[in-house]
Amino acid sequence: MKTEVALESLVGVHWLSGVDRENGGVVAHGEKYQHCDSISFELDGVVYTAVEDPDDGYRSSMERLFVDDRPIENKFKRHKVLGRLNSEIIEFIDAKTGKVVLEVGTDSNDTYYPCWVASWNPENLSANSPKDNKPLFTTDILDHA
């Protein structure tokens, strides 16, 4: 059994070093296997996987988030990020660019049509930005977030 994780536990400062996106992967769901969307990411050397609920019909939501033992294939130099909870979505913000690089969860702004969120924006990483960018957060703020 994989260890389930609450989005709230990822709030704070982390090192992001990899992201894998899988569309239509097969996952165990109850006693059967189903196709669904998932995203895996590595924070502080730990791999987390978020899985879309495959049984939610025309609506979509995150079914679960868990610690995964599968290695990340799309690895990169680690980036300092700040995890911030925005309702039912965890946003990871690059410490240098101040831009959201990864979002995971369920957007429930419209309670009738919740929406699965698995957004990976590598263009917002400081390594992919102009080299003259300066940190937007001081180390003090990041160390105490």
User: What's the pLDDT tens digit per position in 45-58?
Assistant: 999 999 888 766 66
pLDDT at 88 over 60: yes
What are residue 127's phi and psi, to 5 degrees?
A: -65, -20
Beta bridge partners of residue 89, listed in sequence order: 86, 105
The answer, yes or no, to whether residue 108 has pLDDT greater than 60, is yes
Q: How large is the average pLDDT for residues 70-76?
A: 94
Under a CB-based contact definition with an 8 Å cutoff, are residues 101 and 80 in contact? no
Measured CA to CA, the distance from residue 26 to residue 97 in angstroms comes to 35
Q: Which two tokens stand for residue 116?
A: 């699965």
Is residue 8 over pLDDT 70? yes
Q: Over range 59-85, report the average pLDDT.
A: 92
**Predicted local confidence at residue 116, as pLDDT:** 86
Q: Going by DSSP bridges, is the β-strand pair 89-94/100-107 parallel, antiparallel, or unpaired?
A: antiparallel
pTM given for the model: 0.81
Share of the chain above pLDDT 70, in %: 74
pLDDT band at 104 (very low <50, low <70, confident <90, very high): very high
d(CA 135, CA 5): 29
Q: Which is more confidently placed, 12 or 32?
A: 12
